[in-house]
C-alpha cells in the first residue's frame, strides 16, 4: 500500500488518487521511509547485477526466445 505521510492508501483507483492528492498537499516531499525503501531497492538491484532494463538485452548475446 502506498504510504504517504504515515497513512496507507489501498491499491485501488480511488486510493491511488487519494495518495496522489496527499503527496501534493505535502509539497511532493519524499519521506525518510520512502528514501530508505528506494535505497534498499537500488542496493538489491546492484547486488543482483540488474544495471540495465531486461528489455535492453541483445538477441545476439542471449539468443532468440519464443514461447
- Domains in the chain, number: 1
Radius of gyration of the chain (CA): 18
Q: Which domain holds residue 20?
A: 3-50
Backbone angles phi, psi at 42, to 5 degrees: -65, -45
Percentage helix, strand, coil for the chain under 3-state DSSP, each rounded to 5: 55, 5, 40
- For residue 7, the SS3 value is strand
Q: Is residue 42 part of a domain?
A: yes
**pTM for this structure?**
0.41
Q: Is residue 33 part of a domain?
A: yes
Task: Provide the residue-wise pLDDT of the chain in tens; the chain has 67 residues.
Answer: 677 878 888 989 898 899 888 888 877 666 777 778 888 988 988 888 877 666 666 666 666 655 4
Q: Is residue 61 part of a domain?
A: no
Amino acid at each position: 500500500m502506498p504510504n504517504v505521510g504515515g497513512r496507507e492508501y489501498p491499491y485501488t483507483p480511488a486510493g491511488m488518487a487519494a495518495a496522489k492528492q496527499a503527496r501534493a498537499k505535502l509539497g511532493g516531499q519524499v519521506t525518510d521511509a520512502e528514501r530508505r525503501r528506494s535505497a534498499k531497492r537500488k542496493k538489491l538491484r546492484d547486488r543482483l547485477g540488474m544495471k540495465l532494463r531486461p528489455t535492453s538485452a541483445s538477441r545476439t548475446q542471449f539468443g532468440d526466445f519464443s514461447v
